[in-house]
Amino acid sequence: MAKRSKKGISDAIPQEIAPIQNQIITDTIEKNYMPYVMSVIISRAIPEIDGFKPAHRKLLYTMYKMGLLTGNRTKSANVVGQTMKLNPHGDMAIYETMVRLTRGNESLLHPFVDSKGSFGKQYSSDMKFAASRYTEVKLDTICNELFRGIDKNAVDMVDNYDNTMKEPVLLPTTFPNVLVTPNTGIAVGMASSICSFNLAEVCDGTIAVLKNPNVSVDKILDIIKAPDFPCGGAIIYDRETMRQIYETGSGSVKIRSRYNYDKAENCIDIIQIPYSTTIEVILKRISELVKEGKLKEITDFRDEIDLSGFKLTLDLRRGVDPDKLMTKLFKLTPLEDSFKCNFNILIDSSPKQLGVIDIIKEWIKFRIVCVRRELEFDLAKKKDKLHLLLGLGKILLDIDKAIKIIRHTEKDDDVVPNLMNGFGIDKIQAEYICEIKLRNLNKEYIINRINEIEGLQNEIAKIEEILKDELKLKALIASQLTEIKKKYGQPRHSQLIHSDDVVVYNEEDHIENYNVRLYLSKEGYFKKITLQSLRGNDEQKLKEGDCITCTEDTDNLADIIFVTDKCQLYRAKVVDFDCVKASSMGEYVPAKLGMDEGEKPVFMRVQSGYPNGENFVFVFENGKGVRIPVTNYETKGNRRKLINAYSSASPICAVFYEKEKEPFEIMLISSEDKAIIIKTSLIPIKSTRTSNGITLMSLKNGVLLKEAIKDFEARYDTSKGYRKLKIPASGHLLAEKDIMTHQLKF
């Protein structure tokens, strides 16, 4: 049995630990973080001028090399496997990239992959694609425009990640695919979000820029009217907003769903939704609104997507206006959504945010280089062929001499030199002549070949002429764009609605209106009771010791204000409160409106506007009072809470509202049972909300106002000398009869 080592744990610990070295954080970031950042930006998330990210480009090029531009479809798994030679990622990552490019997924205006099988849908997060072993794909015909010239040196080719094969740096797209294919990506410190535009409009717009590089934005806006989304929808068109996007590459496009109303079934069929949302998000939001009681117009809603396409059905209650309901749904649900535009594109491996015209100009620069390289490739091939034919032409008049030279040459290696010497041709021409089959050594064959010389010379001259003149290069690109528009152009998917024609949601139009009576108690409980409910039952249930302090008759659409004992004013709408019965305690206002701890309302009023000449009347416990014009409480925004509504120098005793030229009497009662009655017109008006006011009733030290009453006739005998014509005034002791009456009332 082996002996255990006698070394202790301490022997395993190094005796000396290397000292920690300080590093400058900027150097660390530059060395360790920036390479990752640049890799994500350049090699993953941001599209280049051909409109593709590296993952898309590698996949499509693999399919091209597999011969999938023609012939039958192949299993998606085959394509995924082959793509791994260029893209060192997992099969699922590659397959998900393919899914978005397929016709079945409906993510693109012009899909690049002709697919068979289930590939999910762009408008649904729950509809998943089938596994790659079940689906089949090939390249769509429009991919001919992506690869035209790729075998003629149109773009640079580089080694793949393991140097076993070549792949293109960019695809030589013959149209501005970067504007036709929608693309989004999140890099590090930046993002890209490019919406799609109509192919026919983009081709026309590009031709306009080719003809006039200084074309105005307005001209392009007339040609490329707006984005065009694969899922359709209705774009709320605002020319100034669109101009900003076209100039800067940044902005937001509002998109509404499109719908039909089925009168026979009394239902709305939503047939197109915004590109930026999904049906699951919409259904979830509608469900929430139904549960909250905010969509009483709908009896049922369901997903009716089938082979014919997208459909979301809403069953309506009898009498509901479908157009009016849709304006409400546009406001409250993602049936109206926005696409955030951020046109970040890689130009020569450098990210730039460009407007539409600038993107077209960059694509034209790129395309000119591609076409030039393609023409130079063709030119070299034609010159090589012409050179061979010119050599063939030299033996036309004496074919027998050529045969004789070959027959009398003893060594195979001497055939080419002897022909060169015999006819004054170079080695390449001589090699070509030597390779001609014996059966082709007849005058007819040779004459036919020589007749090609003139055609080749004309073609070479034409290519050279184009290469020398950039205008002719641009004309060639324009002719290709015209051909593409004719072959692949489609009508717009997204309808345009002018912003002035959009019906804006007005909440009040959707609220049922009826007459109600409002109650506010001293403890802060609020009741909204319909007049129908009050018939024969107006006895209010309250907490022990509580009492009603404010009562108002109004309707369900009215606005109300609450003034609290913490110098704050709150605005609310009657519709915000639920209808209750008189036997209910009501809603607790401080909790409903989110008031501060310990804060209670002391005054309530239905408020419609802030007219001149009307005032709030504040009476304080220290015997002072003030009138503040209601215009001082009008705000620009719809602020729900207003602080410093009145002076905080003394606790509030009571709040009243005085209409224009309608002063009224109020009775002030002190804590030592003395009272005065004054008209509100005696109280001065102050322009500052926090004004302390002036003394209304003279009080001794330690004495406070305990009550200020507007409707006092039924409680007190007012003939006892309480009325005062000047302020400040001393109180008159309440008569015993009045005190007894007051006690009996309560």
Which residues are catalytically annotated? 134
- Which position has the token pair 């302390």? 692
* Peptide linkage before 35 cis (omega within 30 of 0): no
Q: Which residues contact 138 (CB under 8 A, 6 or more apart)?
A: 63, 68, 69, 71, 72, 73, 74, 113, 114
Q: Chain-centre distance of CA 211, in angstroms?
A: 34
Residue 309 to residue 434: CA distance in whole angstroms: 65
Task: Assess contact for 216 and 487: CB atoms under 8 A.
Answer: no
Q: Which residues contact 360 (CB under 8 A, 6 or more apart)?
A: 176, 179, 202, 205, 206, 209
> Rounded to whole angstroms, what are the CA distances from 568 to 507, 596, 643, 646?
27, 10, 5, 8
Residue 221 to residue 500: CA distance in whole angstroms: 18
| Dihedral sign, Cα of residue 145, residue 147, residue 151, residue 153 | positive
The residue among 272, 261, 244 whose CA lies nearest residue 106 is 272
Crossing angle of helices 199-211/470-488, nearest 10°? 160
Coil, strand or helix: which one is 56? helix
The residue among 288, 271, 290, 285 whose CA lies nearest residue 334 is 285
Token pair for 17:
């630990």
Task: Assess contact for 222 and 307: CB atoms under 8 A.
Answer: no
Residue 180 to residue 493: CA distance in whole angstroms: 13
